[in-house]
Amino acid sequence: MNVKIKRALLSVSDKEGIVDLAMTLRKLGVEIVSTGGTATLLKEKGVDITPIEKITGNPEAFGGRMKTISFQVGSALLYRRELKEDQEQAQKLGIAPIDLVVCNLYPFESTVRSTDDLATWVENIDIGGPTMIRAAAKNYRSIACVVSPEDYSELMLELEKSGGETSLKLRETLALKAFQRIASYDLNVAFFLSQRMGEGTRSALRYGENPHQKAALLPFDNSTQARTFASAEFIQGKELSYNNLLDADQAFKCASELNTTFEGKAVTVIVKHGNPCGVAVHANPLDSLKLAWDADSVSAFGGILAFNHEVTEEVAQFLKERFIEVVVAPAYSVDALKIFATKKNVRVMKTPLKPATDTEWTVRSIHGGILCQSEDQGVSKEWRSVTKEPFKDALKPTAQFGLVVTKYLKSNCIGLYTAKDGGVVTLASGTGQPNRLECISKLIAPKLKDKTWDQFQTVLVSDAFFPFRDSIDVVQALGVKYILQPGGSIRDDEVVKACDEFGIGMSMTGIRHFRH
């Protein structure tokens, strides 16, 4: 559905290209409503404009803080052209429609880079611009909203070709860009002000990944759960750093997911540098902790721990003599908290577990942009034994455990998991390698030299498919008898054939779990 542009509102901080756009609009017979410095520039260049005060009924005030915020402008943007009752009400109120909004915001981002003066920062937080942009973008079926000079040429080209009309496709594209710009703008305001105003709150972190980097924790509604890890109760300890929170979040999520799989059992997850280094499930909480700690006691030093149960006095006493950074659990006994109180630097956090039904989406940044994705939900789509040696049903609890833990390891990764002392525990893992073969040969193999393990009670789990049979050749030399992997390689048959040669049982799950 095309919309004829009869009236446009131009209000920009960045004046690049605005004169050419305004001249194009005037040639097409469009009335231009403008504000402040934009209006002054356009008049200087001979562009006929309607001052904003003629629309609002009030002059610009308070040093330009009040310009477009008004019932008249808001109504002209928000009333629904397709509804007869809205049209009638607009006519009764004397509201004339605005069909195009061209607005870019006060330069908050460049301001914080050029000065440390907080008052100047605050003065460059735009209010009317975001309000106008949101209104126009929300009503995109009738209004085109342009927030960047980069889009002027496309807009002018379409207007000139169509005789002054915009297509629905262009308006949709521009609306999406408008909402993205508002989100980016608000995120920058929240981040920089958190650093300046967040002292003594959870918002201001000690530092980022390294001490010379600044960091902040910003509340973000990306979960269906009301009480999230980001809003966990902070019981005691030093301020949290960026890395503390990343590691604790990994531990918390892994413990929560294992709790779903092993309901009624005690789960312990120890994370170091973004990877679960010691994970165990046992009927007894202390035994679960001991198994997880002994899985890699070197890496556990200075680690982040998460539990799926109330932390008892016994558990706290075990940790009292060991160096740890953070403990996360849904509850703590009074005696456990007394013990932790003697280790004042240890951060103790309390939060409910993440339910299996919670749907979450995650955010990461790249240069000039933000990547968003839904959280990696679930662990398997199927359970298909593909070798002559069947994958034993008795091994499924160990395999399920391994699938969850491997999902939280950095790719490329391989994990080896075993039943031990009445529980299930991580035996060894290789993470973050450019190729899967080195995960096994250079990381897992050396870790197994000093360990005793039952090859018939152990499962090797891969986060993605094996691209070649060479990994199977190395695995069999270690004594591995059972493998779980997603499958999906063009060489799956070659890998299965290698397993059959060595009498190895393999199952495929159908879901890859890369974690970059």
Is there a contact between 324 and 302 (Cβ–Cβ < 8 Å)? Answer: yes
Q: Are residues 345 and 388 in the same domain?
A: no
Together in a domain, 43 and 163: yes
With b for 16 or more beta-carbon neighbours within 10 A and e for fewer, the 244-279 pattern comes to bbebbbbbbbbbbbbbebbeebbbbbbbbbbbbbbb
CA-closest candidate to residue 346, choices 310, 293, 305? 305
Check whether residue 138 and residue 44 sit in a common domain.
yes
Determine, yes or no, domain membership for 516: no
Are 317 and 393 part of one and the same domain? Answer: no
27 and 150 part of one domain: yes
User: 416: closest CA among 464, 473, 482, 468?
Assistant: 482
Q: Is residue 208 part of a domain?
A: no
Q: In whole angstroms, give the CA distance from residue 356 to residue 80.
A: 41
- 18 found inside a domain: yes
Same domain, 384 and 336: no
Does residue 190 sit in the same domain as residue 323? no
388 in catalytic set: no
Which residue range is the domain that position 251 belongs to?
229-350
**300: in domain:** yes
169: tokens are 């496709």
Beta carbons of 233 and 327 less than 8 angstroms apart? no
d(CA 115, CA 101): 30
Q: Give the whole-angstrom CA distance, residue 14 versus residue 16.
A: 6
Kindly state whether residues 311 and 395 are assigned to the same domain: no
Structure tokens at 161: 């070709």
CATH code of the domain covering residue 321: 3.40.140.20
Contacts of 54 (CB under 8 A, 6+ apart): 33
Phi-psi domain of 36 (left: phi exceeds 0; alpha: psi -120 through 50; beta: other)? left
Tokens encoding 104 = 């870019």
CA distances, 449 to each of 32, 45, 155, 478, 480 (Å) = 78, 80, 67, 10, 14
> Which one from 169, 177, 272, 273 is the annotated catalytic residue?
273
Query: Per the residue annotation, which of 4, 6, 138, 410 is the catalytic one?
Result: 138
pLDDT score, position 243: 95
Please provide the size of the chain in residues.
516
Active site residue 343: no
222 falls within a domain = no
Cβ-count burial 369-384 (b if 16+ within 10 Å, e if not): eeeeeeebeebbeebe
d(CA 253, CA 260): 11
Same domain, yes or no: 113 and 38? yes
- Does residue 212 belong to any structural domain of this protein? no
- E strands along 97-163, which residues? 100-104, 144-146
Q: What is the pLDDT along the chain (516 residues), one digit of tens a residue?
A: 899 999 999 999 999 999 999 999 999 999 999 999 999 999 999 999 999 999 998 888 888 888 888 999 999 999 999 999 999 999 999 999 999 999 999 999 999 999 999 999 999 999 999 999 999 999 999 999 999 999 999 999 999 999 999 999 999 999 999 999 999 999 999 989 988 888 777 788 888 999 999 888 888 888 888 788 999 999 999 999 999 999 999 999 999 999 999 999 999 999 999 999 999 999 999 999 999 999 999 999 999 999 999 999 999 999 999 999 999 999 999 999 999 999 999 999 999 999 988 888 888 889 888 888 988 988 999 999 999 999 999 999 999 999 999 999 999 999 999 999 999 999 999 999 888 888 898 898 988 888 899 999 999 999 999 999 999 999 999 999 999 999 999 999 999 999 999 999 999 999 999 998
Q: What's phi and psi for 76, nearest 5 deg?
A: -60, -25
Q: What is the token pair recorded at 64?
A: 């330009």
Q: What is the CB neighbour count within 10 angstroms for residue 11?
A: 25
Residue type, 57: G
Domain harbouring 29, CATH code: 3.40.50.1380
**Neighbour-count burial for 158-167, b at 16+ CB within 10 Å, e otherwise:** bbeebebbbe
Gap between the Cα atoms of 182 and 194, Å rounded:
18
- Does the residue 56 lie in any domain? yes
Euclidean distance between CA atoms 25 and 160, whole angstroms: 9
Co-location of 113 and 61 in the same domain = yes
**Which run of H or E residues covers position 51?**
strand 50-51
DSSP per-residue string spanning 69-113: -SHHHHHHHHS-TT-HHHHHHHHHHTPPP--EEEEE---HHHHHH
Say how many domains are in the chain.
3
Q: Which tokens go with 478?
A: 């270690």
DSSP 509: -
- Does residue 68 lie in a domain region? yes
335, 399: one domain = no
Assign residue 498 a region (left: φ > 0; alpha: ψ between -120 and 50; beta: otherwise): alpha
Give the H/E segment covering residue 485: strand 482-485
Query: Which residues 6+ apart lie within 8 Å of 407 measured at CB?
Result: 254, 257, 376, 379, 463, 513, 515
Residues 320 and 405 in one domain: no
Please say which residue of 195, 210, 237 terminates a domain. 195
